[in-house]
Structure 1
Amino acid sequence: MNPSLYKPAVMPTADVLRRAANVKLLILDVDGVLTTGYLDYDAHGEATKSFYVQDGLGMQLLRQNGIPLAIISGRDSTVTSARARDLKVQWVIQGAQDKGAALAKLTADAGVSLDECAYMGDDVIDLPILRAVGFACSVPNGHFLAQRTAHWVSHAAGGMGAVRELSELILFAQNKLHAAYAAYLGGDTPPTLEIQ
């Protein structure tokens, strides 16, 4: 693994890198992971959400490097559907109050094992998935039970770069990060970054 493009706040453990290297499907919660978790309501009573653009590029890079994406959300939202379409998320399951059942259907549809799945969630509704998947991830602004169950907790908060951080970790662990960024680097040699 070439660390020259990868500079995490804290270097992941060998176990985390092994789990990330095995990921064949990234599954994400929405509220509190892809967004900050705040819900704003417009004058018509419709909930609006903000998505972090750098998370979107991380998801795009995963997809372009052979790692498909899925969403399992407890809420049903047209805003989430629109963002998922923009990012070409292959599987979108919304209104899932039983996330364990949603996960079982998703893995069957995607043809992957639980060990090959990564999931990032932030609350107790996510615990059935966090306990089941091979690589369970949470965010620092998530509920402590989600954090305690996770194999890895991002440095960046949900809706503020957590998904980008996870995307880079997976690509790094699979030796795909340099290829993912090659088009943006041009002919430049990437700077050597020190891992601390």
Structure 2
Amino acid sequence: MTHTLFKQLSLLLLDVDGVLTTGQVIYNDAGQETKVFNVRDGLGLRLLREAGIPVGIITGRRSMALVHRCNNLGITLLKDGVRDKTEALASVLKEMRVSAAETAFVGDDLPDLPVMKRVGVPIAVADAHELVKQAAVWTTCAHGGQGAVREICETILKARGQWDALIQRLFA
């Protein structure tokens, strides 16, 4: 059933802390926030975008580390410092001209539940809160920040029949 849902996707949206990162927030002595991102997740997102599937971020926190990572990956759909993720979702859907039914959102914790309940393909990372897993149609094997996003990207591309041709075109 999950793979059928992936075939209709027009947009992948992600939370950040606990999804693109392990959920740890690191501050240096100067008080600057640092985040650690997984390079394999980054390649997965690039592959997804290469296949024509836009990627966006909806997160409650703001950080320059995230802005730099999005710039590095070419992700321009960034809604950070969001107080109401459902309002941000509505804005993104309107901006991208896609329906909630053809949108996936990846979450890990309680603030993600309202968005997960409004999209067609809610996804949880392996170490997500139990209520988030219950709201998801699919849960990754990998933990947030440790390859979960790459797993999602590959699964979407394979379900859509785009994986082999994409790998052949880019890496053969």
In structure 2, the residue matched to 1:9 is none
In structure 1, the residue matched to 2:30 is 44
* Aligned with 1:92 (options 49, 59, 78): 78
CA distance in 2, matches of 1:87, 1:144: 30
- CA-CA distance at 1:169 after TM superposition: 0.8
Structure ranking higher on relative contact order (CA contacts 8 Å, 6+ apart): 1
CA distance in 2, matches of 1:114, 1:86: 27
Q: Secondary structure at the match of 1:102?
A: helix
TM-align CA RMSD: 0.9
1:70-109 correspondence runs (5 A): 70-109=56-95
After superposition, give the CA deviation of every residue in 1:109-147 in whole Å (9 maximum; x if it has no partner): 001000110110101100111011111101111111111
After superposition, give the CA deviation of every residue in 1:144-192 in whole Å (9 maximum; x if it has no partner): 1111100000000000000000001110111101122114552xxxxxx
CA distance in 1, matches of 2:6, 2:133: 17
TM-score normalised by L of structure 1: 0.86
Matched, 1:119 2:105: yes
1:44-63 correspondence runs (5 A): 44-63=30-49
CA distance in 1, matches of 2:167, 2:22: 26
Moved over 4 A (4+): none
Q: Is the 8 A contact 1:68 1:90 kept in 2?
A: no
- CA-CA distance at 1:39 after TM superposition: 0.8
Equivalent AA in structure 1 for residue 120 of structure 2: G
Percent of matched pairs sharing the same residue:
41
In structure 1, the residue matched to 2:140 is 154
Matched, 1:180 2:166: yes
Q: Secondary structure at the match of 1:132?
A: coil
Q: Which has the larger radius of gyration?
A: 1
TM-score normalised by L of structure 2: 0.97
* Unmatched tracts of structure 1, length 5 or more: 1-14, 187-196
CA distance in 2, matches of 1:27, 1:90: 12
Equivalent AA in structure 2 for residue 107 of structure 1: L
Q: Secondary structure at the match of 2:117?
A: helix
